[in-house]
Structure 1
Amino acid sequence: MDHQILAAKYKSVLKKVRPVNEPMPQDLNPPLERPPLSRDPYETPLSPNPPIFQETLKVTNERLQAVSCGPPGWLSNEEINLLKNIITLREKEIDFCEEERGLLKHSYGKPYKIPVIPHEPWQKKPIPIPKSILPQFTELIRERITTGLYAQSTSSYTSTIFCVAK
């Protein structure tokens, strides 16, 4: 007979989080707009005999190793060559690293707004970052700010950050 042990840390009533049942305003975040197609995809179908893949400045064999083509033997060599050619044709739309990543155009959709209810902002003391990883951590944060993944905040909140090596 299998036994499960469920262990949870005791939380006092003062620390209990109570969700608020509030309806989400329907007009707050309009749906994303589908981008117009630059061409009719059915007008120019894929070639049944694509040329042999040739590397470009952006699409290299090293970068294509990161693209999963399923388990070994799932795609034939011809199908893998076709996939490589499609990736080469669409190389402007594919990013292989953070520096190449862009943001969604505002013509497709505005930034998402999350409504909040009036409340007292919480503040938590940050967990100290070990001196041994501080330079790497600082570089990571600067890189993510540069690429637009993180943005400067004017929020009333402070949050703890806990660094874990992966």
Structure 2
Amino acid sequence: PSPSGSTPISVFGTKYKKVSKRTFPVSTITPEEFRIERRKPTDPLANMRPLPAVPPPFEPGLRYTKERMRAQDIDPHGFLLPEELCLAHWILRENECALAWDESEKGRFSDEWFDPIRIPTVEHVPWVFKNIPIAPGIRDEVIKIIKAKIASGTYEHSNSSYRSAWFCVPKKDGKSLRLVHDLQPLNRVTIR
């Protein structure tokens, strides 16, 4: 508790919820159909190109562009030889599809390796919660973030019976926003 004995305060000066308000998953046996099955597909290293003895000059790719290459501080202390630095950029260029610089370049796990995750729950009534209204000053930025998440596949269209509350908080830079989803109702019905 804070010195006055009232609402607790974090080291950052913002309030957080009391321990009595926390939610916990349900302790019970996970149904068999929710067990995660991991599969090992064909050897992912089988088609990997061998490292060149002398790396070729840098050629920009679709994601690993000249600007992004310049922005990488791979060797800040000058430890690598010029050929080793060139090889590091070649490896990044060869594997550029594994890198993401913005929301649109993010991907997800391959279905070849993992089935989509299904969350086991106990029986419950679907919930529908209203959001905290979005301040008019940040509305356009919030819409832009949501559209970017839809474009990247992070968010999908849904006709679900559920609606959880969400809100925005500023990131550490003080300018950009982060969407926070309040999934406490899901936590209450999820099997641990």
TM-score normalised over the length of structure 2: 0.64
Which moves more between the two structures, 79-88 or 97-106?
97-106
CA deviations 1:118-161 (Å, max 9, x no partner) are: 12444432111011111121122112112211112333332222
In 2: Cα distance, 1:90 partner to 1:158 partner: 38
Match of 1:116 among 115, 121, 126: 121
Q: What's the secondary structure of 1:162's corresponding residue?
A: strand
**What residue identity is the alignment partner of 1:164?**
V
Is this contact kept in 1: 2:61–2:96, CA < 8 A?
no
**What residue identity is the alignment partner of 1:22?**
T
In 1: Cα distance, 2:152 partner to 2:43 partner: 26
Is this contact kept in 2: 1:52–1:81, CA < 8 A?
yes
- Cα deviation for residue 68 of structure 1 reads 5.2
Q: How does 1:63-74 map to 2 (within 5 A)?
A: 63-67=68-72, 69=74, 71-74=76-79
- Cα deviation for residue 87 of structure 1 reads 1.9
Question: 2:30 aligned with 1:30, yes or no?
Answer: no
Match of 2:133 among 128, 145, 148: 128
Which runs of 5 or more residues in structure 2 are unaligned? 9-15, 172-192
Q: What's the secondary structure of 2:143's corresponding residue?
A: helix
CA deviations 1:90-115 (Å, max 9, x no partner) are: 33444433333344442332211111
**What residue identity is the alignment partner of 1:19?**
P
Partner of 1:19: 25
**What residue identity is the alignment partner of 1:141?**
I
Q: What's the secondary structure of 2:167's corresponding residue?
A: coil
Match of 1:100 among 93, 101, 105: 105
Assess, with a 3 A threshold, how the Cα gap between structure 1 residues 83 and 160 changes in structure 2: closer, same or farther.
Answer: same
- Cα deviation for residue 164 of structure 1 reads 2.2
Question: 2:72 aligned with 1:84, yes or no?
Answer: no
CA deviations 1:53-94 (Å, max 9, x no partner) are: 233454223112454526533434322210111122233444
Is this contact kept in 1: 2:130–2:165, CA < 8 A?
yes
In 1: Cα distance, 2:62 partner to 2:18 partner: 56
- Cα deviation for residue 23 of structure 1 reads 2.5
Is this contact kept in 1: 2:106–2:152, CA < 8 A?
yes
In 1: Cα distance, 2:130 partner to 2:62 partner: 46
Q: CA RMSD in A?
A: 3.3
* Aligned residues between the structures: 159
In 2: Cα distance, 1:92 partner to 1:159 partner: 33
